[in-house]
Amino acid sequence: MRRALLELVALLATANFTALSGQVSPEPTISGEHIALVGGTVINPADGKITRNATVFIVNGRITDIAANMVMKFGGRSINCVGKFILPGYIDTHVHFFQSADLFTRPDGADFNSVRPYKDEVAWIKSHLDDVFARYIRSGITSVVDVGGPMWNFEVRKTANATAKAPRVAVAGPLISSVSREKLDLGDPPIVKIDTPHQAREFVRKLAEQKPDLVKIWYIVDKDHPVDAFRPIARATIEESHAHKIRVAVHATELETARAAVEEGADVLVHSVIDKRVDDAFVKLLKDRHIILCPTLVVFERYGRTFSHQLNLTPEEEKWGNPEVIASLDVTKIPQDKLPQRVKDALTDPKAALDRIKKTYDVALPNLKKLEDAGVTIAAGTDAGNIGTIHGPALFREFQLMKEAGLTPMQILQCATANAAKLFGGETGARIGKLENGYFADLVILNSNPVDDIAHASDIDTVMKNGVAYPADSILR
């Protein structure tokens, strides 16, 4: 009986409607169409439920029903998904649109102004936003969270919302920081040094006028900036943000910094703790406060690997990353006299760069596993835009590292969908990350099963955003 039903579903797809054999037609569907995705395996990482031989019904960009092993009357267009795997679109919860991922994008970390002036870099970035949007869609990423940038970040959100072939975008404004970054300041700085609690409150009020999805704190500590010195400013930032009903995300990579941020009321930690193993008290604190943590594992290796000429881009990054960005990452093409000392040192001792990366992962990966096992909400994110961390397909390197930490494919998929939607937040976050009635029809159709192997998560046949289906190979043409 089941076999007969499957054959009937397949016949319906090929006989009564616009038929597709293995892939969507060369042109994308039209927003507002009534669409049925017929005969695929629906994977809902939110609860781990897998529905085989399913039909997903979509009307006006939203899912209206998911039916298993049955044929329903349908007056729209059908897409044959027999042998395919249908998931919610992926969500990268940590990106920076003000950075391109090329060699010149963070002069505060490695100054290449003598090769490419930073103002030219920023102009290039602004002129290539549509390209960046498309590379996220090609990677199956239908929503992203930009956790900090200049005030023009809010224009990026507006542009993305008006662009069909673009992810949904949540944004924070300039980072409230314990340190300054003058080399990034062209009149609209992405990072603002705040010296007093009063300044913090004033700046949050200014940000609130732009209706940010998050306020971001850059909690940097060193010998000149101890943890406790910045804590009153963090407290004031969080209190004022919460008074405006805005959540606060904190960059805190040391255990004691992260602990302080959460104790002061932070809602999100946007990096792994990398200086020491997390303790049980910290894990309990995160659980009790319902903290979301975004580990951003990939970014910890990409600066060192780029500067030491040992970059390990994945096949997905090589194929779907911006080729101009990727070409810039070969530091051996830069004249010796124009290399920053940091890069010269890395090239002189490349093993030291790899040793530092290994030391970081020896802490970060077990920390991730401990937090996941304890039930802390983990949201996948990359910190894309930083040097060597490619917008879009860097997420698949993040998946590899999460696997190395010991997470199962289903756990990783949950981190990149349902959990990530919680970090996105707001009305949009409540309608993405799951395949359920009433949710946005943002999804990815795969050729192979990612639950068997997370590497299959990039075996993309079709990406659908807001009910518009894009054949994967057509997106970057």
Domain boundaries, the chain: 2-89+435-474, 90-429
Q: What is the pLDDT of residue 105?
A: 98
Question: In CATH, what class is 90-429?
Answer: alpha beta
Is-contact 197 233, C-beta < 8 A?
yes
Condensed to tens digits (0 to 9), the pLDDT of residues 234-255 reads 999 999 999 999 999 999 999 9
pTM of the model: 0.93
Q: What is the pLDDT of residue 164?
A: 94
Helices (H), 375-467: 394-404, 409-415, 418-424, 426-429
375-379-383-388 Cα dihedral, nearest 10 degrees: 90
Residues 6+ apart with CB under 8 A from 187: none
Helices (H), 171-308: 197-208, 227-243, 255-263, 280-288, 299-307
Q: What is the pLDDT of residue 477?
A: 86
Condensed to tens digits (0 to 9), the pLDDT of residues 341-392 reads 999 999 999 999 999 999 999 999 999 999 999 999 999 999 999 999 999 9
Q: What is the pLDDT of residue 69?
A: 74
Q: What is the pLDDT of residue 12?
A: 41
Measured distance CA(169)–CA(67) in Å, rounded: 30
Tens of pLDDT, residue by residue, the chain (477 residues):
344 344 334 434 333 333 333 344 434 556 567 999 999 999 999 999 999 999 999 999 999 999 987 655 667 889 999 999 999 999 999 999 999 999 999 999 999 999 999 999 999 999 999 999 999 999 999 999 999 999 999 999 999 999 999 999 999 999 999 999 999 999 999 999 999 999 999 999 999 999 999 999 999 988 888 999 999 999 999 999 999 999 999 999 999 999 999 999 999 999 999 999 999 999 999 999 999 999 999 999 999 999 999 999 999 999 999 999 999 999 999 999 999 999 999 999 999 999 999 999 999 999 999 999 999 999 999 999 999 999 999 999 999 999 999 999 999 999 999 999 999 999 999 999 999 999 999 999 999 999 999 999 999 999 999 999 999 999 998
Give the helix, strand, coil percentages of the chain, each rounded to 5: 40, 20, 40
Q: What is the pLDDT of residue 19?
A: 34
Select 2-89+435-474's CATH number: 3.50.50.60, 2.40.170.20, 3.30.1330.60, 2.30.40.10.
Answer: 2.30.40.10
For CA atoms 102, 108, 113, 117, give the dihedral sign: positive
Q: What is the pLDDT of residue 71?
A: 58
Q: Within 13 A of 310's CA, how many CA atoms are on the CB side?
A: 17
Measured distance CA(367)–CA(380) in Å, rounded: 15
Q: What is the pLDDT of residue 74?
A: 67
